[in-house]
């Protein structure tokens, strides 16, 4: 298994197009200056000792050297010891509402961004638990199956947005059902679901699904996003709001937090209900409840020792640098007999 100790340094690879443009610009200036002495093709024949191919060969070497050093700077590592590591925890599915109403701004900056921030805080505090992610609107979809790879969970959480589940609406029951599918059926405990939504369910019967979850020993915690007073639903892009959603009569639609079904779902399964706010870590209460749950042991195979491999890229870069230094832009007399570096234009 290969990983990079500092993947953030890959941003420096964006310098390569700039460097390539610089080489092109230098070549362009050279040709422009030659044009000052007469027709370019004639002048190029007079300086026949120069090779355009060798110029670009050296430029390509310098680009390859730069890329190699950047990747070496990111420090590639290879796992060398593969062993069984035992973890203890629970199976946890987080279901996030991605319907249009989650764009409302009664929680700053908006409900969906706040929900994702809460999930990030939760993942950062997990120790040994397996986590999965379900997104839902009018239907539910598995964003991430149960895993102990928290980095993957954080990455997939970053790309969640309104529209991740294409069918419009809010189907909390479908989200519970999809989460239940992720759990091992033979176990009647060690399982929990966290539902983050504004509670405006219009598609199915979440109470019936909550009773099904309770019969399987699954605890459901609910987080209510929004305010009972409601807020309009913005239209437009993330950067600019062009208006607010309205009904057929032109009245602005308000999306209100519906707490009753969320409180009932939590009560049926022995979980907790929390109304989200701007001033606190809303999942802290839920996390304390999760820590109290009985844990099970997971056998997880993983690499435990990694060795640095940056030195191979540095060595490759040094060899290329030596080759670049020894490569002259002048044509090789012996090779020029075979017209390897010659062109029909005399350059």
Per-residue pLDDT of the chain (347 residues; tens, 9 = 90+): 788 888 889 999 999 999 999 999 988 887 777 666 555 555 555 555 556 677 888 899 999 999 999 999 999 988 777 666 677 788 999 999 999 889 998 888 899 999 999 899 889 888 888 999 999 998 999 999 999 889 899 999 999 998 888 888 889 999 999 999 988 776 667 899 999 998 887 778 899 999 999 999 999 999 999 888 888 988 865 556 777 888 778 888 888 899 999 999 999 999 999 988 776 666 777 888 888 887 777 766 666 677 888 999 999 999 999 988 887 666 555 445 544 444 444 44
What are the C-alpha distances in Å from 289 to residues 91, 129, 222, 293, 335? Answer: 14, 13, 12, 7, 77
Instruction: Determine contact, residues 143/156, Cβ cutoff 8 Å.
Output: yes
Whole-angstrom CA distances from 161 to 26, 67, 136 are 45, 34, 11
Residue with tokens 């409900």: 111
Separation between Cα atoms, residue 85 and residue 21, nearest integer Å: 50
Predicted TM-score (pTM) of the model is: 0.63
Q: Which residues pair with 223 in a beta bridge?
A: 196, 274
For residue 193, list its beta bridge partners.
93, 220
The CATH H-level superfamily of 91-294 is: von Willebrand factor, type A domain (3.40.50.410)
d(C-alpha 201, C-alpha 169), whole Å: 8
3-state secondary structure of 91: strand
Cis peptide before 204 (omega within 30 of 0): no
Residues β-bridged to residue 347: none
For the four alpha carbons of 73, 78, 84 and 89, in that order, the dihedral sign comes to positive
Per-domain residue ranges of the chain: 2-78+307-336, 91-294
Three-class SS state of 105: coil
């Amino acid at each position: 298994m290969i990983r990079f100790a500092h993947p953030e340094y890959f941003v420096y690879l964006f310098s390569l197009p700039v460097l390539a443009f610089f080489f092109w610009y230098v070549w362009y200036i050279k040709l422009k200056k030659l044009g000052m002495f007469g027709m370019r093709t004639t002048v190029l024949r007079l300086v026949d000792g120069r090779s355009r191919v060798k110029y670009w060969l050296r430029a390509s070497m310098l680009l390859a050297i730069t890329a190699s050093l950047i990747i070496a700077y990111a420090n590639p590592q290879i796992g060398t010891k593969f062993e069984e590591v035992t973890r203890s925890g629970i199976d946890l599915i987080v279901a996030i509402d991605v319907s249009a109403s989650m764009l409302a701004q009664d929680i700053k900056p908006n409900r969906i961004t706040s929900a994702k921030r809460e999930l990030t805080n939760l993942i950062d505090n997990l120790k040994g638990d397996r986590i999965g992610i379900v997104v839902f609107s009018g239907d539910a979809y598995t964003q991430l199956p149960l895993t102990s790879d928290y980095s993957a969970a954080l990455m997939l959480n970053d790309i969640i947005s309104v529209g991740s589940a294409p069918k419009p609406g809010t189907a909390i029951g479908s989200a519970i059902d999809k989460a239940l599918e992720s759990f091992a059926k033979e176990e009647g405990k060690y399982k929990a679901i966290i539902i983050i939504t504004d509670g405006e369910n219009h598609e199915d019967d979440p109470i019936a699904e909550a009773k099904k979850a309770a019969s399987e020993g699954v605890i459901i915690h609910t987080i209510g996003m929004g305010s009972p007073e409601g807020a309009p639903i913005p239209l437009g892009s993330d950067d600019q709001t062009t208006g607010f959603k309205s009904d057929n009569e032109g009245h602005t639609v308000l999306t209100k937090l519906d707490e009753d079904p969320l409180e009932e779902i939590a009560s049926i399964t022995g979980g907790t209900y929390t109304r989200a706010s701007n001033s606190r870590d809303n999942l802290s209460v839920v996390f304390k409840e999760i820590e109290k749950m009985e844990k099970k042991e997971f056998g997880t195979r993983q690499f435990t020792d990694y060795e640095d491999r940056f030195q191979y890229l540095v060595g490759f870069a040094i060899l290329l640098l030596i080759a670049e230094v020894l490569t002259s832009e002048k044509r090789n007399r012996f090779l020029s007999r075979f017209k390897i570096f010659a062109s029909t234009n005399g350059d």
